[in-house]
Chain A
């Protein structure tokens, strides 16, 4: 079974530029998560989708971050305009049955963003 795919793996941009990340979850997984992992910290949930609907975006800085999950499969996370403090690894994860069973989330390799 293929894992969670993310691209690009690395991105370097100047502050105030925009950037987009792409995620393809494990086939059949209904729930998709975007996490931000700042160096030396644990992942922090930015947004959670159930199929193509938003379940939780309470920690998403909505003035600059946006995300969508068209057709309930792939997802994109966008930052516009980027700030220095957005430098982090952006992790995408997916799970099959939120709130039930093992609750296991499968993570992709992440996109390392550096904002200069």
Chain B
């Protein structure tokens, strides 16, 4: 199974709040889990990525939490800002192969003032 399931479909968070987006995968061969951010009219851009040898990775206000046994990973955006309003996609790939990315269905985040 190559599917990556993402939730929620949409999310509204107040400025300064925490945004949490969840993803689950089935293929245990996946070993690279990136999050992409996409603004309207633009292509996706890599935000942060993690490999399964660590349970958490933090870059600024963005943190990935990874649970290998549950086959789940999540994106946490701390101190959410209106500029974070975008669509977020989780993805997964097998780094040892042709690096094809399998994307989740996306989460539209809106950060209100």
Contact = CB atoms under 8 A, between A and B. Distances in A.
Interface residues of A, number: 27
B43 A55 contact: no
Contact of B106 (A42, A108, A110): A42
Interface residues of B, number: 27
B32 interface: yes
Interface string A98-112: 111011111111100
A44 B103 contact: yes
Interface of B: 4, 6, 32, 34, 36, 41-46, 49, 89, 91, 93, 95-106
17 contacts: A31-B99, A41-B106, A42-B6, A42-B106, A45-B101, A45-B102, A55-B98, A91-B44, A99-B98, A103-B32, A103-B95, A104-B49, A105-B101, A107-B36, A107-B43, A108-B43, A110-B42
